[in-house]
Structure 1
Amino acid sequence: MRVLEAEPIRTARLRLDPLRVDDAAEMAEALADPALYRFLGGEPPDEERLRERYADLVAGAEEPGVSWCTWTVRQAADGRAVGMVQAVVGPDVGGMRAVISWMVGTAWQRRGYAAEASRALMGWLRERGVGTVTAHIDPRNAPSAAVARSLGLAPSGGDHHGEDVWTDRPRRT
């Protein structure tokens, strides 16, 4: 199974840069609002915790055929970090599937950045042969559900650790 590596992605307003460990300081600031963790649990990570986490993400998955692709989302105009998007890509019947996620700092929400970055990510995945895209969303998280709908995802009826599974593949009846 082919392993993917994050590559730069551009949109009209954003740059999606492959994650670097050195992004931790900037991201700790961008993602510092405790309200961001309302549906995720926990609290905002400090720079040291993010450095450790980012080192693991950059090192990649140990499972054969699985790719961890993570990007720092930046405003194209000034290069400021505003959030992140991620895809965990692995084998699926007849190809590859991805579970995607997004997070945009509170100061940059309600600008469409999460949807714009995630749409670009989905396009990148499609260009690389990923057939199915899913996202796991807390059922109380209406803003993330709105982003998922804008991407063409719909609830599948599945559950992943208390989160609804949204997919771009229709539910089989």
Structure 2
Amino acid sequence: MDDDSGAGGGLSADRIEAARLTLTPLTVEDADDMVDVLAGEDLYGFIGGGPPDLDGLRARYARLAAGRSPDGRQAWLNWILRRRRDGRAVGTVQATVTGAGRRAEVAWVVGTAWQGRGYASEAAAALAGWLRGRGVDLLQAHIHPDHQASMKVAAGIGLRPTDLMEDGERLWRWERG
């Protein structure tokens, strides 16, 4: 499983439907909607950084939309979370896939205006199911030990905390038995 040849094992982001959300593969054009979603300073309390400007977000999305790290060892799969009822963007989910498509580091971000409505849980569950259905055997996430909401999301998709800490975040993981 440590072999990173083939990075994402040929995985690419597909549209994923959930009960209230559609996860659409990220494009550069999504920056126009997402700059407002990511604007709240409070959003960065646990994840670090700060709100992006539109040009910076477009540049970042251009890199991510390529689907692979520059060295080709990681597949970058990113989705915009859009409410099904009106198409409004509310956040993102991502999976960095390695190990020939068998390992994925997952993350989620929901704009502060849309937090507390279960969107992160719904999107993370849809993403985890999609990844598992494509043969991913190991899911993991790094979560700040004080970020109760993200810990709840992680537990909801079957991830369990480990004793490993990295850059102030605890590693959570699920592995196919």
Q: Same fold (TM over 0.5)?
A: yes
Partner of 2:3: none
Q: Is residue 2:77 matched to residue 1:69?
A: yes
Please state whether the residue corresponding to 1:146 is helix, strand or coil: helix
RMSD: 1.4
Distance across 1 between alignment mates of 2:147 and 2:55: 28
Q: Percent identity?
A: 48
Partner of 1:15: 22
Distance across 2 between alignment mates of 1:69 and 1:130: 13
Distance across 1 between alignment mates of 2:165 and 2:61: 27
Partner of 1:149: 155
Distance across 2 between alignment mates of 1:32 and 1:64: 31
Among candidates 32, 35, 43, match of residue 42 of structure 2: 35
Partner of 1:26: 33
Long gaps (5+) in structure 2: 1-5
List structure 1 segments (4+ residues) > 3 angstroms apart after TM superposition. Answer: none
Among candidates 107, 113, 117, match of residue 119 of structure 2: 113
Deviations 1:66-123 (A, max 9, x none): 210000000000000000000000007xx61100000001111111100100100011
Partner of 2:55: 48
**TM-score, normalised with respect to structure 1:** 0.93
Partner of 1:163: 169
Between 1 and 2, higher relative CO (CA 8 Å, sep ≥ 6) is seen in 2
Q: Is the 8 A contact 1:3 1:66 kept in 2?
A: no
The one-letter amino acid of 1:149's match is: A
Long gaps (5+) in structure 1: none
Please state whether the residue corresponding to 2:94 is helix, strand or coil: strand
Q: Answer with 116-125 or 150-159: which moved more.
A: 150-159
Distance across 2 between alignment mates of 1:34 and 1:104: 13
